[in-house]
Amino acid sequence: MSTPDLQPLYDAVLSGDAKTARAVTEQALSAGVEPLKLVQEYMVPAMGEVGRRFECNEYFVPELLLSARAMKAALELIRPLLAASGAQPAGRVVIGTVKGDLHDIGKNLVAAMLEGGGYEVIDLGVNVPPEKFVEVAQEKNANLVAMSALLTTTMPSMRTTIEAFKAAGVRNRVKIMIGGAPITQRYADEIGADGYAETAAGAVPLARKLAA
């Protein structure tokens, strides 16, 4: 069987066309294209371009989310095959808004960006207690933990969560990244986080840097 033209997969993710992304993926898999090739050579680069367009104000979030959903639709077909072949995602991230804080828009955006970047994302939601971060990170064998806070009065929960990882003796098993309106690099350094991203789009390069 001849190799199908895979550019439409890239285009479908870029334009947020989930139906086409899924159809092209199905077709490619039937033709024997390596699942990893679809992810690494078409889907992740397309999401990279989406991120670029978002960063330079060509795309709004609704367009970004459509693209993320298109990628997710295609990934649903690919994930089981990748798992069966032993291939790993770019990383596994446990993400949540810290205890006492109910803001989840920024956290949701970071989750969408990380998924688009090829990461497996486990979203714990909002008002997440420190012990929950630790428990799920261990249970899912995550290599990254991402925490969000929007309030100055909930920022200290980030420190408490990092301390909970230390107390459980698993701090060195995960890299911890933080973000949110009141957060700064200085604060990240002060509480012993491994990284800070100022924007949602900045979370993906940061995750890559931390995992390197």
Partner 1 sequence: MTVATQLVPKPDGALCAVARRFSAPAIRDPSELRFGHCLHPLRTRHGLVIGAGLVYPELNFTLPPMLVTQATMPEVRAQYRQMITSALQRAVDLEAPGLVVEFETLPPMTEHPAWAVELTRILLEAMEDAHARHGLKSVLRITPNDLREMERPPRMRKGPLLEAMLETFDGCAAAGAEWLSIESVGGKEVHDEALLNGDIRGVLFGLCVLGVRDMRFLWTELVEIARRHGVHAAGDTACGFANTAMVLADQRMIPRVFAAVVRAISAVRSLVAYECGAVGPGKDCAYENPILKAITGLPMAMEGRMAACAHLSPLGNIAAATCDTWSNESVQNIKLLGGMAPTCSLEQLVYDCRLFNRALADGPEAALLLRKWLVESDAPLDPQAWILTPENVVNLADAIVRAPTPLAAGRDVGLKAVELIREAHRNGQLKVPPRELPWLDRIQNALESVPDNEEAFIAEMLPAVDTTRFVPAEYGL
Site of interaction with partner 1 (CB under 8 A): 57-58, 60-62, 65, 100, 102, 104-105, 108-109, 125-127, 151-153, 155-157, 182
- How far is C-alpha 153 from the geometric centre of its chain's CA atoms? 26
Of 28 and 203, CB closest to partner 1: 203
Of 97 and 143, CB closest to partner 1: 97
What is the smallest separation between the CB atom of 109 and partner 1, expressed in angstroms? 7
Residues 75 and 13: their CA atoms lie apart, in Å, by 11
What is the smallest separation between the CB atom of 192 and partner 1, expressed in angstroms? 16
What is the smallest separation between the CB atom of 199 and partner 1, expressed in angstroms? 8
Residues 69 and 139: their CA atoms lie apart, in Å, by 26
Of 83 and 181, CB closest to partner 1: 181
Given a contact cutoff of 8 angstroms between Cβ atoms, the answer to whether 42 and 10 are in contact is yes
Q: What's the burial of 163, exposed, middle or buried (CB within 10 Å: 0-12/13-18/19+)?
A: middle
What is the smallest separation between the CB atom of 14 and partner 1, expressed in angstroms? 16
HSE-up (13 A, CA, CB side) for residue 52: 7
What is the smallest separation between the CB atom of 38 and partner 1, expressed in angstroms? 26
Residues 135 and 138: their CA atoms lie apart, in Å, by 5
Of 141 and 199, CB closest to partner 1: 199
What is the smallest separation between the CB atom of 150 and partner 1, expressed in angstroms? 10
Edge-to-edge strand ranges of the sheet holding 91-97:
119-123, 91-97, 144-148, 175-179, 195-196
Count Cβ neighbours within 10 Å for each residue of 91-114 and write b for 16 or more, e otherwise: bbbbbbbbbbbebbebbbbbbbbb
Of 82 and 151, CB closest to partner 1: 151
Of 13 and 128, CB closest to partner 1: 128
CB atoms within 10 A of CB 77: 16
